[in-house]
Amino acid sequence: MTPDELMRRAISLSLEQMQAGSGGPFGAVIARNGEIVAEGWNQVTSSNDPTAHAEVVAIRRACAALGRFDLSDCEIYTSCEPCPMCLGAVYWARLQRMHYGNDRKAAAAIGFDDDLLYTEVPKPIAERSLPTSQLLGDEAHAAFEAWAAKPDKIAY
Amino acid sequence: MTPDELMRRAISLSLEQMQAGSGGPFGAVIARNGEIVAEGWNQVTSSNDPTAHAEVVAIRRACAALGRFDLSDCEIYTSCEPCPMCLGAVYWARLQRMHYGNDRKAAAAIGFDDDLLYTEVPKPIAERSLPTSQLLGDEAHAAFEAWAAKPDKIAY
């Protein structure tokens, strides 16, 4: 499939699944060498899962289909520029390229204010709208020391 | 349970589950009125899911336990400052407060470079290390128009 065809599939999912009541109007496709590995669409409200954005769902399914947590030989086609959560997932999955349809301004115009999240994430902790405090940092560090010393750890 | 006790539980999960081979040394607990609603730990390598960070897992389980996608009456206790993906998930879940143990510098010191992600997310798209391009923006917009016109949509 061509890039245009893959994006059109992501767009179709965004419209059809939204109309079917799955959630917001967002679809995503993960492809390898022009072939679809997995598809995802927003399922936040239908599955009661605030992390079930199209990109996260597609990444989870692609990893399940391929049996690995690294998608560095794959590309993602998403019907809308991802929010920071989904962008983070794209990086963690090591996807090699991203294609998007709508941009974040278009999303904000219909009530999805990803832009707010993009301003919150880079802020110093004390300046964010989310009340946040550090607790027991010294005790928490023991697990990090154990990880550093673990001989058979699997890096990711 | 007190805040210290809840954080100690998150820390215990980070150590025990890492030693059991689940994944990296990260644990999280979601609590409401001092009672644990759900627990999560990193399962990236054991479940082949790059989105299965402790916070995302805990949020998904808490939502499943409560049957809703809004955790605005809950707090999260995480053994480490979250990466942008998990921070985004915390915002989407509307958690009212966050407590963390290790900070991102401690995570970077043992090989988890969340700090890199924190520098990538706010960059303009063209300056990120992830090759990204917009495609078929006009066609993608049709789904947004349909969402705006949908009479029975569930906002989130």
Cβ-count burial of A48 within 10 angstroms (0-12 exposed, 13-18 middle, 19+ buried)? middle
The fraction of chain B above a pLDDT of 90, given in percent, is 92
Count of A-B CB contacts under 8 Å? 284
Contact state of A24 with B110 under an 8 Å Cβ cutoff: no
Q: Which among A69, A117, A137 is the nearest to B49, CB-wise?
A: A69
CB-based contacts of B145: which residues, under 8 Å, 6+ apart? Answer: none
Contact state of A117 with B154 under an 8 Å Cβ cutoff: no
Contact state of A130 with B51 under an 8 Å Cβ cutoff: no
Instruction: Kindly report the length of chain A.
Output: 156
Judge whether A55 and A40 are in contact, CB under 8 Å: yes
In degrees, to the nearest 5, what angle opens at C-alpha B122 toward C-alphas A52 and A94? 55
Q: Is pLDDT of A138 > 90? A: yes
| ipTM of this complex | 0.96
Q: Is pLDDT of B116 > 90? A: no
Summarised one tens digit per residue, pLDDT across range A74-119 is 999 999 999 999 999 999 999 999 999 999 999 999 998 788 899 9
